[in-house]
Structure 1
Amino acid sequence: MTPDHPIHDMAVAMYGIVKRFPGVVANDRITLEVEAGEIHALLGENGAGKTTLMNILYGIYGPDAGEIHVRGQQVTIGSSRDAIRLGIGMIHQHFRLVVTHTVAENVALGLPGGDFFFPERAVWRKLGQFSKKYGLTVDPEARIWQLSAGEQQRVEILKALYRGADILILDEPTSMLTPGEIKELLTTLRHMATEGHTVIFITHKLEEVMAISDQVTVLRQGKVVATLKTGQTDERELARLMVGREMLFRLDKKPAQHGQTILQVEGLHVLGDKGLPAVKDVSLNVAAGEIVGIAGVAGNGQRELAEALVGLRPVLAGRVLLGGQEVTHSPPRLRIEQGICYVPGERLTGLIPNMSVAENLILKNYRYAPFTKGPFLNRTAITRYADDLIAQYAVCTPSRETLVRVLSGGNIQRTLLARECSGAPVLLIAAHPTSGVDVGVTETIRQLLLDQRNRGIAILLISEDLEEVLTLSDRIAVMFNGQIMGILPAGEVDLEKIGLMMAGTYRSTVGEAV
């Protein structure tokens, strides 16, 4: 099982790793070698087995077969405590922080010894040293809920460094970050590698692999299909290896056939979580058969706007009309019945993780025929409906009864889109629909949105991915500090001008209405 060549130069070596779950082999005899001091990208589609493999290295799962070597020594990692003792740290895609506690308190949690009453005080000095050394600036007295996603990620990295980790695993580390935060993170990781840390970078983003990694291992359906030096490959080859086919990198976008105005937003004002204005005097229209994209850096009112439109956040002033009928203060259930569908940026907030795929697919319609039979659910109708949607939207799940929380990110997103697009939507509000999913799923989701548009559905697309907004939208609205800086026809977009609008230094009055 162990190779003939010496492995003492390897920070991590995993040989013949097998991990099975009911109905699926997540890791199928995987071999992975990571040299000390390198950044190694682990690339693959959602569900390819990347996170499972790293969960084994971090002690969350035990392998069913295979060997693990750390710094040349064969080891058994039975828990995360074992991994930490071996100098391995893992920063998960969804941060594991206590949001009501301070940065220092989060770092101190679980540390042995220290001051019983104020253990965080002993942390402050060392945090300052790490901050200066790696550029991980964060206020140790700030509470987690006050921090941006990028700052919270810095806290997770600082936690790992504080515990002595010199092998860092980052699981989809850029999925929740702004472009500026992504750039800062990549710079930090490169600096850490030059200081001798080993970084394993789980991702599906090809441009990040090319920008940061020294080597890349590609997984597909639980198996290694290639390990390459990054400088000797390109995005097209990596995409082909990842999905098993040539990627076209283009979509079938037909000219828009605008119908009547479906969504009218007039002078909308909405407060944010802290009670401060988050949406300020926003006006826009979306017609049937068009996609209006909202571009902007995270935190400029996009989330609050979407939540106000679907009834999850109260409107302070202004009006929201759907097909000419005012729904400004209507409850979410009434808006659903009137044809508003919503794909939230945090996909699990739109689903119930501990319910099955089938149950989540009927979540909006379980009260109605054919899913009810008197006071009882009609299991036959639910089974037929769920199986049809699973096949139609290519949801990879062991069974319709599988709990949503065990699916990969891409398949969670497919489940959500299947439910929202399968009825008779009039307006689809899609927030970050391809965030955190791989290139193959991204292509599928983008084409699905175009197909919905071609069916005459009005779509409001909210995305921090400017390339996505430019590719899909018929008109583009740019938000900054809760305001619309301008609405431009997609065919007349000036990238420099959009950049200035996103930064709040330019305002346009072109294309304010359909």
Structure 2
Amino acid sequence: MEYVIEMLGIRKEFPGIVANNNITLQVERGEIHALLGENGAGKSTLMNVLFGLYQPERGEIRVKGKKAEITNPNIANELGIGMVHQHFMLVNNFTVTENIILGNEPSRMGKTDLRQAEKQVREISEKYGLAVDPSAKIADISVGMQQRVEILKTLYRGAEILIFDEPTAVLTPQEIKELTAIMKALISEGKSIILITHKLKEIMEVCHKVTVIRKGEGIGTLNVSETNPNELASLMVGREVLFTTEKTPASPKETVLEIKELTVKDSRQVTAVDALSLEVRAGEILGIAGVDGNGQSELIEAITGLRKLDSGSILVNGKNISRMSPRKVAESGVGHIPQDRHKHGLVLDFAIGENMVLQTYYQKPYSKAGILQFKEIYKKAEQLIREYDVRTPTSTTPARALSGGNQQKAIIGREVDRDPDLLIAAQPTRGLDVGAIEFIHRRLIEQRDKGKAILLLSFELDEILNVSDRIAVIYEGKIIAVVRPEETTEQELGLLMAGSRQKKEGTAT
């Protein structure tokens, strides 16, 4: 059989670590082939080798049966390989068309022919059902649309083999459905797709084959039709994984967080949170369900002191924190696991050990007379690294060198260790594998059982249903219903999230 891509016995090393060890991947024409593994298993590294961003120490790459030396991404493009990166490579101030043709501009009489380029972009967009406006500015379009621009960029350069790196990590459920349809349209045209993912549901829905990698080693390739999520999860993490979180019923006590008639504007000065009222009690997890863009981010930013509120009040343990700085909010008993771990959770160029004390570095024993006590800082960091199973070469390794799951464990360790009365967990498992998700859910429930109040924001409905004790549905900045997970379904929640008011309106009391 002739494969469009063969990676045979690939080995890739970095100082002190073997990221890929003797891995083989074989992809057929017209198939969606999943590359499955935990965070840090070596999936992205292997694809960066295929795309020419890294050079392997050993092994061979064949494209359509011919040996290929892919020393940079331009050679990959010439061989028909395109990559849609997890973190988009787009210029915000450029239009869709300008981004797509960048570095490959069509010219007419010595000038860039934008009209011709726009026509081409529109034709490709219509052919694959991408529905992108070629003249729109990147800054003005949604994350889902930006991803389509990345796909268009590869198609414009003639890609026959597309690598998607965790493509659904930042998408809403609706955008994920649309992306699935786009991928199916691409393979019906004879393209081949390699899908880097750790989402088992996606693999079962769209993929033909799956190659599993664990700790840099190839575990095997399976036909998706002959496997199931439990088997894949066990192969991926090397043990049985529980998909439901075991917990006893909650026994909520006094109110910890009380929000009254809160109104907050977004960065464009449009009302994002609209006279919202909400309560979270000690010993319960309140999940907020809603489609992205309905005021969730602004609500969390207002509670944590990152955004000014227009009116209303926020009380923690009866104390008004509405006008406090983020530091004062944290000192008032609020822990915050932010939804963007890179922007708001970590200083990526600081050591992971230094990141562990970002909320407490100015307090004793980490600081004396304004001087940092690094011995104490790293002593605490190493304790948290052990306790939260943060996999890092050392506590002095820069945070950016860790996988997403380990970065998230570090943030959770830091926030939980401060023993806050209210823990805000915004998208705590976004982009994480089943093993890390299981670990984080267990930690949230542990905190609940210790009598803490947990406010959980997630766009993953199964997470909301699995972990929450009560669910508040947010729509256009208002709480339109409060339901119990055991008394609702994913379908009913989906309708409520779309604004259907079948359930009685109410506040979470």
- 2:101 corresponds, among 108, 120, 128, to 108
Q: Which amino acid aligns with 2:228?
A: D
Compute the displacement of 1:69 (Å).
1.0
Structure 1 residues 129-144: aligned runs within 5 Å:
129-144=123-138
Compute the displacement of 1:435 (Å).
1.0
TM-score, length basis structure 1: 0.96
- 2:171 corresponds, among 177, 197, 202, to 177
Q: Which amino acid aligns with 1:499?
A: G
- 1:449 corresponds, among 444, 460, 463, to 444
Structure 1 residues 25-36: aligned runs within 5 Å:
25-36=18-29
1:212 equivalenced with 2:206 (yes/no) = yes
**Corresponding residue for 1:3?**
none
**Corresponding residue for 1:357?**
352
- SS of the counterpart of 2:67? strand
**Gap change, CA 1:270 and 1:375, over 3 Å in 2:** closer
1:13 equivalenced with 2:2 (yes/no) = no
**Corresponding residue for 1:348?**
342
Structure 1 residues 332-481: aligned runs within 5 Å:
332-349=326-343, 350-481=345-476
- SS of the counterpart of 1:456? coil
CA distance in 2, matches of 1:475, 1:509: 15
Q: Which amino acid aligns with 1:152?
A: Q
Cα shift readout 1:255-296 (whole Å, capped 9, x = no counterpart): 212121111111111111222111111110011111110001
Cα shift readout 1:374-410 (whole Å, capped 9, x = no counterpart): 3422222112111111111111111111111121111
CA distance in 2, matches of 1:489, 1:230: 35
Q: CA RMSD in A?
A: 1.5
CA distance in 2, matches of 1:485, 1:477: 8
Q: Is the 8 A contact 1:488 1:510 kept in 2?
A: no
Q: Is the 8 A contact 1:489 1:511 kept in 2?
A: no
1:63 equivalenced with 2:51 (yes/no) = no
- SS of the counterpart of 2:4? strand
CA distance in 1, matches of 2:202, 2:50: 23
CA distance in 1, matches of 2:371, 2:466: 45
Compute the displacement of 1:310 (Å).
0.7
1:279 equivalenced with 2:260 (yes/no) = no
Structure 1 residues 281-360: aligned runs within 5 Å:
281-349=275-343, 350-360=345-355
Compute the displacement of 1:80 (Å).
1.2
CA distance in 1, matches of 2:492, 2:237: 36
Q: Structure 1 residues 181-190 or 367-376, which shifts more?
A: 367-376
**Corresponding residue for 2:496?**
501
- 1:241 corresponds, among 235, 255, 259, to 235
1:92 equivalenced with 2:92 (yes/no) = no
CA distance in 1, matches of 2:447, 2:107: 58
- SS of the counterpart of 2:182? helix
Q: Which amino acid aligns with 1:197?
A: K
Compute the displacement of 1:118 (Å).
5.2
1:51 equivalenced with 2:44 (yes/no) = yes
CA distance in 1, matches of 2:508, 2:502: 16
CA distance in 1, matches of 2:268, 2:22: 50
**Gap change, CA 1:459 and 1:117, over 3 Å in 2:** farther
**Corresponding residue for 1:24?**
17
Q: Percent identity?
A: 48
Q: Which amino acid aligns with 2:406?
A: N
- SS of the counterpart of 1:255? coil
Q: Is the 8 A contact 1:488 1:511 kept in 2?
A: no
- SS of the counterpart of 2:149? helix
Cα shift readout 1:464-511 (whole Å, capped 9, x = no counterpart): 111111111111110112211111233322544322211112154466
1:253 equivalenced with 2:247 (yes/no) = yes
Unaligned regions of 5+ residues in structure 2, if any?
none
CA distance in 2, matches of 1:507, 1:438: 34
CA distance in 2, matches of 1:482, 1:510: 13
Q: Is the 8 A contact 1:45 1:438 kept in 2?
A: yes
Number of residue pairs the alignment of both structures matches: 507
Q: Which amino acid aligns with 1:220?
A: R
Compute the displacement of 1:252 (Å).
2.3
TM-score, length basis structure 2: 0.97
Q: Is the 8 A contact 2:106 2:112 kept in 1?
A: no
Q: Which amino acid aligns with 1:400?
A: S
Q: Which amino acid aligns with 2:247?
A: K
CA distance in 1, matches of 2:184, 2:495: 29
Q: Which amino acid aligns with 2:395?
A: R
Q: Is the 8 A contact 1:43 1:216 kept in 2?
A: yes
Q: Structure 1 residues 165-174 or 110-119, which shifts more?
A: 110-119
Structure 1 residues 158-177: aligned runs within 5 Å:
158-177=152-171
**Corresponding residue for 1:156?**
150
Q: Is the 8 A contact 1:108 1:119 kept in 2?
A: no
Q: Is the 8 A contact 1:289 1:453 kept in 2?
A: yes
CA distance in 2, matches of 1:507, 1:340: 34
Q: Structure 1 residues 296-305 or 46-55, which shifts more?
A: 296-305
- SS of the counterpart of 1:252? coil
- SS of the counterpart of 1:341? strand
CA distance in 2, matches of 1:14, 1:302: 43
Q: Is the 8 A contact 1:240 1:246 kept in 2?
A: yes
- SS of the counterpart of 2:107? coil
Q: Structure 1 residues 195-204 or 368-377, which shifts more?
A: 368-377
CA distance in 2, matches of 1:351, 1:113: 41
- SS of the counterpart of 1:414? helix
CA distance in 2, matches of 1:32, 1:496: 38
Compute the displacement of 1:145 (Å).
1.8
- 2:487 corresponds, among 477, 492, 496, to 492
Q: Is the 8 A contact 1:48 1:221 kept in 2?
A: yes
1:78 equivalenced with 2:76 (yes/no) = no
- SS of the counterpart of 1:10? coil
**Gap change, CA 1:428 and 1:73, over 3 Å in 2:** same
**Gap change, CA 1:137 and 1:492, over 3 Å in 2:** same
Q: Structure 1 residues 109-118 or 18-27, which shifts more?
A: 109-118
